[in-house]
Amino acid sequence: MLQRLKNARQVTALSGMKNVGNLFRQAFGRGWILVGDAYHQKDSYDAQGIYDALLGAKILAAQLIKWKTGGGSWDEAMQLYSSEVHNALHPMFRSTLDRLKREMFASPSPKMVNGLLRWVLTNKTYRQRFGLLATRSLSPKSWASPV
């Protein structure tokens, strides 16, 4: 990487997001549906946006097919869509908000930070479990004990 970037230079200003509105909106109404970030937003700290959007679109597609083929009313299909997406994404939503509060906005002592950082970098089990959490192979409800 160093070799590839040694002659690189910044050509535009850096930008980022601040104060992300962590939320679930109303998912649908008469003649409209929200999916992806339009329906559900959370801080990008755990990099889950693409997963969330694709899962929501998959659930929505199944409910739209069901509705279009006479498997229920629009309201029934959209209620199922809304509740399925919420049930699937809310555990990671809570986990992300809890991690942000604990890891980004709390002020631990330098001694604690150094010890924790050393532990995180050297603890194989933690790294593996966090990798499983980030890839949704492990439920946010069971990946770590409550603080």
Q: What is the mean pLDDT of the chain?
A: 85
Residue with the larger pLDDT of the pair 65 and 23: 65
User: Two tokens at 43?
Assistant: 């801080």
Query: What digits encode the pLDDT tens for the residues 27-65?
Result: 999 889 999 888 988 878 778 888 999 999 999 999 999
> Measured over all CA atoms, what is the biggest interatomic distance in the chain, rounded to whole angstroms?
62
Provide the pLDDT confidence category of residue 17 given band limits of 50, 70 and 90.
Answer: low
Please say if the pLDDT value at position 98 is more than 80: yes
| Rounded mean pLDDT, 102-115 | 74
Instruction: Quote the pLDDT of residue 147.
Output: 47
pTM (2 d.p.)? 0.64
Determine the angle formed by the axes of helices 110-122 and 124-134, rounding to 10 degrees: 80
Residue with the larger pLDDT of the pair 144 and 48: 48
CB atoms within 10 A of CB 11: 5
Q: Which long-range contacts (CB under 8 A, 24 or more apart) does 84-90 make?
A: 84/59, 85/27, 85/39, 85/40, 85/55, 85/56, 85/59, 85/60, 86/24, 88/55, 88/59, 89/24, 89/40, 89/52, 89/55, 89/56, 90/24
